[in-house]
């Protein structure tokens, strides 16, 4: 059974987790801003959001390190704080805060991954458009024919023409 004897340390842990939750909530808002900027093709907003996200990630890393130090003093780890099935003498408020922290960090991870996929798709589209405009050869594209087998597409014209 996990035990923490120091009431002051329990209060400090609760406070650190609450602050970390707040940082993750701010980070989630930045991710939402990034998502909107990606959809609206707002490059200036993306640059600002990128800088903001970097600062927030540094704050989250600092706060996580402080939380780990506080947990270490209680002979706990972050995984102890977030395990739902482990019997514990941690206050219910700290357990609930830990669960809320896991939930918001999962939301951040999901939205960050979605934004990353959007960026990758937009990058692929832009590269393809640049290749078309510049006349660079496209890789052979495999298409399915009516027989269900793949065939190489005929090489398309590699330039847009001469003026």
> Is residue 158 situated within a structural domain?
no
Tokens read off for 41 = 């093709």
> Is residue 163 situated within a structural domain?
no
> Is residue 135 situated within a structural domain?
yes
> Is residue 137 situated within a structural domain?
yes
CB atoms within 10 A of CB 61: 11
- pLDDT tens string 9-52: 778 888 999 999 999 999 999 999 999 999 998 999 999 999 99
pLDDT band for position 71 (50/70/90)? Answer: confident
From the centroid of its chain, how far is CA 86? 27
Rounded-to-integer distance, Cα 151 and Cα 142, Å: 5
Rounded-to-integer distance, Cα 137 and Cα 155, Å: 9
First-to-final CA distance of the chain: 79
- pLDDT tens string 122-147: 998 888 888 888 887 666 666 677 77
> Is residue 162 situated within a structural domain?
no
pTM higher than the cut 0.85: no
> Is residue 161 situated within a structural domain?
no
- pLDDT tens string 51-60: 999 999 999 9
- Full DSSP string of 70-130: HHHHTT--HHHHH-SSS-B-S-HHHHHHHHHHHHHHHHHHHHHHHHHHHHHHHHHHHHHHH
Domain CATH for 146: 1.20.58.300
Q: Helix (H, G, I), strand (E, B), or coil: what is residue 146?
A: coil
Number of domains in the chain: 1
> Is residue 19 situated within a structural domain?
yes
Lowest-pLDDT range, 69-73, 103-107, 159-163?
159-163
Instruction: Please give the residue range of the domain that contains residue 19.
Output: 7-152
């Amino acid at each position: 059974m996990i035990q923490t004897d120091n009431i002051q340390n329990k209060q400090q842990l609760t406070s650190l987790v609450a602050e970390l939750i707040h940082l993750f909530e701010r980070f989630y808002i930045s991710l939402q801003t990034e998502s909107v900027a990606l959809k609206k093709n707002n490059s200036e907003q993306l640059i600002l959001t990128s800088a903001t996200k970097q600062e927030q990630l540094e704050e989250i890393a600092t706060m996580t390190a402080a939380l780990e130090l506080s947990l270490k003093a209680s002979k706990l780890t972050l995984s102890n704080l977030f395990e739902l099935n482990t019997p514990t003498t941690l206050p219910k408020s700290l357990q609930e805060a830990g669960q809320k922290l896991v939930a918001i960090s999962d939301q951040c991870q999901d939205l960050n991954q979605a934004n990353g996929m959007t960026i990758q798709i937009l990058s692929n589209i832009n590269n393809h458009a640049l290749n078309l405009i510049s006349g660079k050869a496209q890789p052979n594209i495999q298409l399915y024919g009516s027989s269900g087998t793949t065939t190489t597409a005929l090489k398309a014209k590699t330039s847009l023409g001469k003026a």
